[in-house]
Amino acid sequence: MSDAPQTTGLADPPATPAERRLAGFWEELLEVENVGRADSFVALGGNSLLASMVANRVEKALGYRPTVAEIFSLPLAELARRCEAGATNFL
């Protein structure tokens, strides 16, 4: 059996441009595939260093910097919604 984190992405894939962008950041940094709307950054193997890297990428892409607490506590869809609401750049 693999020790790789499991994803739920196949059941509910990212639906909006912000969700797809954020899922791409998570997939790249966490080295997982098929991140879905209900997935948790921490459950997929995220830590504070990787969360800071996500925050940097989101800030560069959208002009909004989510907190590490938001990244840790919110599922992908809710985090993407907050990032969209605070965005100053276009996706």
pLDDT tens-digit map of 7-60 = 555 679 999 999 999 999 999 999 999 999 999 999 999 999 999 999 999 999
Nearest Cα residue to 61 out of 40, 82, 88:
88
Residue 11 covered by a domain? no
Q: Looking at the domain assignment, is residue 8 inside a domain?
A: no
Q: Domain with 76 in it: what CATH number?
A: 1.10.1200.10
What pLDDT score was predicted for residue 66? 97
pLDDT computed for residue 10 by the predictor: 61
Count of domains for the chain: 1
Tokens representing 89? 């750049």
CB 7 within 8 A of CB 39: yes
Instruction: Determine the 3-state secondary structure of 3 from DSSP.
Output: coil
CA distance 67 to 65: 6
The conformation of residue 29, written as its DSSP 8-state character, comes to H
Instruction: Write out the residue range of the structural domain in which residue 37 sits.
Output: 17-86
pTM of the model: 0.85
Do the domain assignments include residue 57? yes
Residue 68 lies in a domain: yes
Say if residues 61 and 21 touch (Cβ distance below 8 Å). Answer: yes
